Amino acid sequence: MSAIGTTEPARTWVGPSAPERLRILRETKVIAIVGASDKPSRASYFVATYLLSSTKYRVYFVNPVVKTILGQPVYASLAELPETPDLVEVFRRHDDLPGVLEEAKAVGAKTIWLQLGSWHEGVAADAEAAGLNVVMDRCVKIEHARFHGGLHLAGFNTGVISSKRQVLA
């Protein structure tokens, strides 16, 4: 039961396996972050910082009310981007997800990736029917770091190579 007393719908969609997610990330060259924020406390800002500093992806930000993020221009929609994103990472409310999918399909994106905590069975079905890869309830930053040796318990690269868990002070 949710906080307002309604039953959450069952999760029936099965996402891509770890090797399939790795393939998606390897094939991706351009990422658009929809719902990107210029606030350092927001998850999208943290992910953007990681992608810009630790990957070779070309990263674009989409938010109709923000002008710049991390010194980069922000676009009002996916249609305004200077190139087609391979992967559209979504930091938007549940009810906004079908509209973001329609934009992603319209620009020719290959993958729609819903951030941690974001799950929409209808969007997944519609995206797959349109030929898109779908990833839900996962973080691009965490998945990239997992596959590239930079993931620690807290999600950060500690710079220590060890089989023992490090004690954080």
pLDDT tens sequence across 106-132: 999 999 999 999 999 999 999 999 999
Beta pairing, strands 68-69 & 72-75: antiparallel
Convert the pLDDT of each residue in 134-156 to its tens digit.
Answer: 999 999 999 998 888 765 544 44
Q: What is the pLDDT of residue 7?
A: 56
Answer whether residue 156 is part of any domain.
no
The phi, psi pair for 111, rounded to 5°, reads: -140, 140
Answer whether residue 1 is part of any domain.
no
Q: What is the pLDDT of residue 155?
A: 47
Number of folded domains in the chain? 1
Q: Which amino acid is at 9?
A: P
Burial class for 46, CB neighbours closer than 10 Å (0-12, 13-18, 19+): middle
Asked whether residue 51 carries a pLDDT value surpassing 60, the answer given is yes
Answer whether residue 162 is part of any domain.
no
Q: What is the pTM of this model?
A: 0.84
Confidence of residue 44 (pLDDT cuts 50, 70, 90): very high
Question: In which residue are the tokens 């969007």 written?
Answer: 123
Averaged pLDDT, 10-35: 94
Q: Which of 55, 56, 36 is nearest to 46 (CA)?
A: 36
Under a CB-based contact definition with an 8 Å cutoff, are residues 19 and 133 in contact?
A: no
Answer whether residue 13 is part of any domain.
no
Range of the domain at 128: 18-147
H/E element holding 136?
none
Answer whether residue 158 is part of any domain.
no
Asked whether residue 168 carries a pLDDT value surpassing 90, the answer given is no
